[in-house]
Chains A and B, each alone.
Chain A
Amino acid sequence: MQKRSLLRLAALATLSTAVATVSAVPSARAQNESLKIGFVGVTSGPAAAWGISNVRSMEALAAMLNEEGGVRIGDKTYDVEIVTFDDQKDPKRAIAGMEKMAQEGIHYVVGPNVDDGAAAVRPVAEQNGIIYIPYAFPKELYSPPASNAVLGMVANYQSGPAIYKYLKENEGVETVAFVSANESDPLSQRDSGVAAAKELGLEVVSDNVTYQVDTTDFTPVLTPVIRENPDLLVLSGVAPANAPQLIRSARELGYEGLISTETAQDAQVLSEGAGELANGFISVGGASTPEIASDRMNAFVDRYTKMFGEYNDESNTKVYALQYILDTLAAAPEAVDDVEAFKAAMDGFEAPNPFMKGEDAKLHYVGSSSFGQKRQLAVPLVVNVYRDGAFETLFVAEVD
């Protein structure tokens, strides 16, 4: 009994010390007011990598900014605080997450990561004055009368045609096959990819093969597709966890054509999962290839790596969301509490792009041609090709 009491005492003492230490940290930086930015997305389960790269990008960038003294917006300097909510890729939980953000008085949220989650949170966001930045492609989220969602990346219906056109002109691609997971996002990406390929005059030799999202062995899935021997195999909306296995299975089945996707991938994952079989794999990336990454981007990558042990190449794109929010708020300080001011500022907003080399690199909102209004972050459309453990830039383009 005495021993148990001693143990309890020791546990209490440890807990008290921990609490005291944690509470001492903010007091050292108490001079800056806190600006809360939310994240609602998937950070657990099979698609966890998508949301975790979002959260970690936001936390790494916020840590850098806070360490540099905070963010100046109007006449105030803020420390950036990231508030996260794991929606487990479930639309009902995404709604709960957005409601939580509203209760905390948060007006700017990054996420959700998938189509149905992004569609589900729309009423909550609009009723509570929240601007949110999903990684989902349905056009109705960004087209009038909707006005609170801002697409955080390049949509596949924007990148796909650019990639197919490049491959048709430079690699002589004439036939194409599509494979996708049996989920709403990849299926809609496949459908728009098929339409884009047909519009370019490519022959679509296979577009009905799909796989369960939890598939681990893709040889049976790909066997009928590879028999068609297309010049290009498109892995529509493929998750980074599945890409290496799909590539590996295709190559092991004897496929020698090109393989591409319109989603962001991670070089380390491709290297470990498919090795040299992944050489030549084409995907969409951000701005961290050596040719175009700025010193700020390199510093961000270092910071991310120090904080979390390993960088995720998906963050090349994900880092932009927080930067856009903060720079737009800096341009329109009243928008801190008024999203209508934020919306009004979006049309004419322009700021230097800190993550890309060159003075011409700017942050600005696009989307007029796709959505009829500027509701998309101008993230560079960098098409990468994987080679021997790293991405090389194939070509760079811009949306809109």
Chain B
Amino acid sequence: MEQILANGLYLGAQYALIALGLTLIFALMNVLNFAHGQMYVLGGFVTYTVYGQLGLPFFVALGCSALTLAVVGALIERFLFRPVLARSHREESSMLLAAGIAFFMDAVILLVFGEKQRGVPKIVGGVLNWDFRLIMPYDRILIGVLALLSIAAFILFMSYSRTGRALRAMAQDRVAAQLMGVDVDRYAMIGFALGAMLAGLVGGLLVTITGVNLGMGGPTSIKAFLMVMIGGAGVISGAIAGGFILGMMESVGLTLLSAYGDITYLVIFASLMVFLAIRPQGLMGKPWG
């Protein structure tokens, strides 16, 4: 049981961090960013290059991942989403654009980093073994703690900083925020950059555990959407809850249902369908959006 809980918490922390960026972008711009997984992958490859290839310290690499993705996110918002959203009010326009960006990023990542799975040296050696009841490598513990700290820092930033308040105001009511003097264009760019930065940060964190490869983007986006749907689209606390719920369901399912074959995700998806039929807005979302 201890192992199941530890695995679930560790998975939940990383999932929550992945979902945060996606839900932030959705809350601010009503955009389903299908390229979120590719941004995560790019963050992983930046850390791989800086830490694994150039040999610079891990935290420098992590900073590079966050910064690179923040810049990429800002550029994508400024030059792609903003013009499209200004000209088209149809939701499918932004969805198609996001899907196009995902394919484009896949192609660029293939060209620059190749098709192979990449990994980096462990940042901390050793394994915690509590009488074989709980086995957890120290690097997982460290990454889990860093993910939790990042989530806490993000919540504090959103709650108490001027930028965070402006972003929350925009998420609640864009027009009202504009009337109150918030420069919505500028903060939309900052919000998108922040969302992309979170994807880059978690990509950089997890490359030390899971490695990274070209094909991880799509499945990561799907899982992120799953978490956002569980918690409620556009709700920060919902994304965190969704991440931990999914992580715990995965951990419990993989351990207790393994004897029946690979039915964990079947059960998760079936449960999600029933749950959404009862509560389509998710745990913490509002029925009106």
What 1/0 flags go to A35-74 for Cβ under 8 Å of B? 0000000011111110011000000000000000000000
Q: Interface with A: B151-159, B181-189, B207-215, which one?
A: B207-215
Specify the chain B residue showing the minimal Cβ separation from A243: B117
- Majority DSSP secondary structure for residues of A touching B: mixed
Task: Check A220–B254 contact: CB distance below 8 A.
Answer: yes
Task: Check B261–A208 contact: CB distance below 8 A.
Answer: yes
Tally of chain A residues near chain B (CB < 8 A): 42
What 1/0 flags go to A258-284 for Cβ under 8 Å of B? 000000001011001111000000000
Task: Check A48–B262 contact: CB distance below 8 A.
Answer: no
What 1/0 flags go to B164-193 for Cβ under 8 Å of A? 000000000000000000000000000000
**A:210-228 near B, CB below 8 Å:** 210-212, 214, 216-217, 219-221, 223-224
Give complex CA distance A275, B123 in Å: 12
With A49-B116, A309-B114 given, is the CB distance from A220 to B251 under 8 Å?
yes
Name which of A47, A220, A224 has the most chain B CB atoms within 10 A of its CB.
A220
Task: Check B215–A48 contact: CB distance below 8 A.
Answer: yes
B262: contacting residue among A210, A217, A272, CB under 8 A: A210
- Majority DSSP secondary structure for residues of B touching A: helix
With A47-B215, A252-B135 given, is the CB distance from A223 to B3 under 8 Å?
yes
- A244 on interface, CB distance cutoff 8 Å: yes
A223: contacting residue among B7, B11, B127, CB under 8 A: B7
Q: Specify which chain B residues have a CB less than 8 angstroms from the CB of A221 in the assembled complex.
A: 254, 258
Nearest chain B CB to A15 CB, angstrom units: 20
Q: Specify which chain A residues have a CB less than 8 angstroms from the CB of B116 in the assembled complex.
A: 49, 240-241, 266, 268-269, 310, 312
- B86 on interface, CB distance cutoff 8 Å: no
Give complex CA distance A312, B254 in Å: 33
B258: contacting residue among A47, A208, A254, A309, CB under 8 A: A208
**B:116-137 near A, CB below 8 Å:** 116-122, 127, 129, 132, 135, 137
B211: contacting residue among A43, A219, A272, A312, CB under 8 A: A272
- A159 on interface, CB distance cutoff 8 Å: no
Give complex CA distance A52, B110 in Å: 10
Nearest chain B CB to A314 CB, angstrom units: 10
Task: Check B258–A224 contact: CB distance below 8 A.
Answer: yes
With A49-B115, A268-B116 given, is the CB distance from A220 to B262 under 8 Å?
no
Task: Check A216–B206 contact: CB distance below 8 A.
Answer: yes
Task: Check B211–A244 contact: CB distance below 8 A.
Answer: yes
Task: Check B210–A44 contact: CB distance below 8 A.
Answer: no
Give complex CA distance A194, B56 in Å: 45
Nearest chain B CB to A263 CB, angstrom units: 13
Task: Check A214–B216 contact: CB distance below 8 A.
Answer: yes
What 1/0 flags go to B1-40 for Cβ under 8 Å of A? 0011001001100000000000000000000000000000
Task: Check B129–A212 contact: CB distance below 8 A.
Answer: no
- A182 on interface, CB distance cutoff 8 Å: yes
Nearest chain A CB to B39 CB, angstrom units: 16
- A12 on interface, CB distance cutoff 8 Å: no
Give complex CA distance A182, B210 in Å: 19
Task: Check B7–A219 contact: CB distance below 8 A.
Answer: yes
Nearest chain B CB to A181 CB, angstrom units: 8
| Chain A residues packing against B (C-beta within 8 Å) | 43-49, 52-53, 182, 208-212, 214, 216-217, 219-221, 223-224, 240-242, 244-245, 252-254, 266, 268-269, 272-275, 308-310, 312
| Chain B residues packing against A (C-beta within 8 Å) | 3-4, 7, 10-11, 52, 106, 110, 114-122, 127, 129, 132, 135, 137, 140, 206, 209-211, 213-216, 218-219, 250-251, 254-255, 258-262, 265
